[in-house]
Structure 1
């Protein structure tokens, strides 16, 4: 599977860019899956629901399934957080996996940047950042795209991965 990341500081526009890229790229007939790294504790389940009760009782994995989707929840219960590579191995094959976060991993990335956050660019210190998508002009030794020019960013990523 081909892999490309979207990174940036908090409120830089990563999730919006991811959403637009998935729409743009799948609209071209290319299959896409996504991986999102969360720095905080999260739960996709709800207290009181059967699957939640299964996990609370001590199940390591709970697979919740319906006609429309399934979700596999795996409780780490003292295990280390899995690596990106370990998580990718769990995905069904697709043409492209877009990854939000995992800024310290070695896969190629586009940095989302919004001037209002006041954060510095990641790109100058990270050679895996291949381009910057910004809402304002930035000086950088990599290609710079308008943060809202989804088509151009998608073209860049697809060319980078050979699709």
Structure 2
């Protein structure tokens, strides 16, 4: 599967860019899946729900299924966090996987950058950053797009992965 990352510091606009790119690329007829890396503890299940109760009782994996969707939650219970490659291997085939985070990975990336909060660019020190999407003028060693020019950023990614 083809994969492209969206990276940047906190509040750089990564999630908004991901959302717009998914809609744009799916609108062009491609299938897209996403992976989001979180640096903090999170829970997608709700206390009191049956699936939550199953996990809290000690289940390693809990599958919640309906006619509209299914989800599998895996408790690591002290095991190592899965690698990006391991997560990719568990996905159903699609045309493109967009990855938010994993900025240290060796896959190609677009860096989201906002003038506020004033963080430095990753691109000058990371050759896997193939473009920057910014809301301000930046000096980068790669193409720079307006952060809100979703069409141009999608064009760039699709061309870069050969779609």
Fold conserved (TM > 0.5)?
yes
The TM-score with structure 1 as length reference comes to 0.99
Which structure 2 residues correspond to residues 3-42 of structure 1 after superposition, within 5 A? Answer: 3-42=3-42
Runs of 4+ in 1 over 6 A off after TM superposition: none
Instruction: Give 2:75's aligned residue.
Output: 75
Distance in 1, matches of 2:110 and 2:94, equals 20
Q: Give 3-state SS (helix, strand or coil) of 2:127's partner.
A: coil
Count of aligned pairs between the two proteins: 163
Deviation at 1:154, TM superposition (A): 0.2
Per-residue Cα deviation, 1:98-132 (whole angstroms, up to 9, x for no partner): 00000000000000000011000000111100000
Query: What is the alpha-carbon root mean square deviation over aligned residues?
Result: 0.4
Which residue matches 2:109? 109
Specify every segment of 5 or more residues in structure 1 that has no aligned partner in the other structure, as ranges. none
TM-score of the superposed pair, with normalisation by structure 2? 0.99
In the alignment, structure 2 segments of 5+ residues that lack a partner are: none
Give the match for residue 54 of structure 1: 54
Deviations 1:80-104 (A, max 9, x none): 0000000000000000000000000
In structure 1, C-alpha distance between the alignment counterparts of 2:42 and 2:66, rounded to whole Å:
22
